[in-house]
Amino acid sequence: MDLNHFTDRVLLVDDQRIIGEAVRRMLAPIAGLEYRAVDDPHKALEVAREFQPTLILQDLVMPGVDGLDLVRAYRADPCTATVPIVVLSSKEEAATKAEAFARGANDYIVKLPDPVELVARVVHHSRGYKAQLERNAAYAALQESEARLSGEIQKASEYVRSLLDAPMQGDVSADWRFVPSESLGGDVFGYHTIDADHLAMYVLDVSGHGVGPALMGVSAMNLIRANASDVATALDPSRVLLALNAAFPMARHHGMYFTVWYGVYSRSTRELAWSGGGHPPALLVRDGNAQQLESTSYMVGVTDDYDAPTMRMQLAAGDRLYLYSDGVFEIHLPAGGMWNFEEFVGFILETAPKDRLDAMMAHTQKLQGKDRWDDDYSMIDFGFR
């Protein structure tokens, strides 16, 4: 059906021309109706393919062709498979009516009915079919749009992944797992050398899902990396968060904001300094216990009046530090409810350090009962010798 020329089109198949003329006159009050009558039943299917009717009125008794066989032929042809068919019969016979419906007819009329009844049935079936075609067209357009969007999101996911820092070994080791959600969130993370003594580490999560939050996350990550050349700023977590807050106000970024945790580790003194803006606490695991290194302020971008104090602590050989996004522990369970943060921490403590990243992914995937997470999944494991 050509949706650019979307009108009522009625095809009558009846060997009696007088019936064809009578039906034409009865349907004349329907504004914009296109009508065609075929008196040679052998040409009915060919004409239907070309005319693209929104309703077929089909006579049953015709020379050389059984009308019920034509009903079956319409249903077998892709061009007419879903077009409503109203059977016209000279008799009200239950068996014939049942057979017509069995072969695919939508309605049954004893000809010729009162014009008011015929018009009502034609309008009902034709308009219903057009509505179905419109719904199908809208659904197809939606699927096409979603396919394009999915492709763009996949490209954005691959781009974000390409920017993440490679795992590293040495006096400080780092490894991570990252799985973007189907709709792509705003998770980014990284670590880099500031100078010979100091290592920066961070994770941030932009509100919302889609390409916009992902691009904002990448922009924030690029600013953090750019600040590495300004050693005085990069060494001061408070100044880094203040710079981020000044660069990404919600009012200029479509209402988006983000949470962040930024830390600086000194190799010579083993001191870790950090500041967090509304992000879940980093977890320091030592001797079988977990200490939460809480954020020191609220989300970045929500207000101009911003302060993010820096906290400090000493690390020891064998410590493990975990940065992550809330997509790691906010797991919706199939039976209802959510896996909670305390269970997340407990699972970390129960799992051997070398297995934690993969074990956490496998466990949360099993908990939710599906392959993909509802939010971006980001978890980074730092080890200290």
pLDDT tens sequence across 296-310: 999 999 999 999 999
- What does the pLDDT read at residue 233? 95
Q: Give the number of residues written for the chain.
A: 385
Lookup: tokens for 207: 């509100």
> Rounded distance, CA 154 to CA 148, Å?
10
Domains of the chain and CATH, by start: 3-137 (3.40.50.2300), 165-384 (3.60.40.10)
pLDDT recorded at residue 139: 81
pLDDT in the model for residue 4: 44
What stretches of 40-137 adopt beta strand conformation (E)?
55-59, 61-62, 65-66, 85-89, 107-110
On whether the CB atoms of residues 205 and 181 are closer than 8 A, the answer is no
Residue 324 CA to residue 280 CA, distance in Å, equals 8
Answer whether 13's CB lies under 8 Å from 40's CB: no
Query: What is the structure's pLDDT at 182?
Result: 78
Distance between CA atoms of 155 and 200, rounded to whole angstroms?
A: 28
Note the pLDDT of residue 52: 93
pLDDT digits (tens, 9 = 90+) for 64-107: 899 999 999 999 999 999 999 999 988 888 999 999 999 999 99
Which residues lie closer than 8 Å to 343 by C-beta, 6 or more apart? 329
pLDDT of amino acid 249: 95
Contact 156, 214 (CB under 8 A): yes
Which pLDDT belongs to residue 133? Answer: 87
Please tell me the predicted confidence (pLDDT) of residue 125. 93
Token representation of residue 125: 């079936």
Residues 6+ apart with CB under 8 A from 335: none
Whether residue 264 contacts residue 224, with contact meaning beta carbons closer than 8 Å, is answered with: no
Residues near 6 by Cβ (< 8 Å), separated by ≥ 6?
Answer: 130, 133, 134
Instruction: Tell how strand 55-59 and strand 9-13 pair up.
Output: parallel
263's tokens? 């830390």
Q: How many CB atoms lie within 10 A of CB 190?
A: 19
What is the distance between the alpha carbons of residues 147 and 159, in angstroms, rounded to a whole number?
Answer: 18
Q: Who's near 376: CB < 8 A, 6+ residues apart?
A: 178, 179, 180, 181, 184, 185, 186, 187, 205, 325, 327
| Rounded distance between C-alpha atoms, residue 356 and residue 378, angstroms | 13
Spans of the chain, pLDDT less than 70: 1-6, 145-147, 149-150, 153
Q: How far apart are CA 141 and CA 150, in angstroms?
A: 14
Buried b (16+ CB within 10 A) or exposed e, 203-219: bbbbbbbbbbbbbbbbe
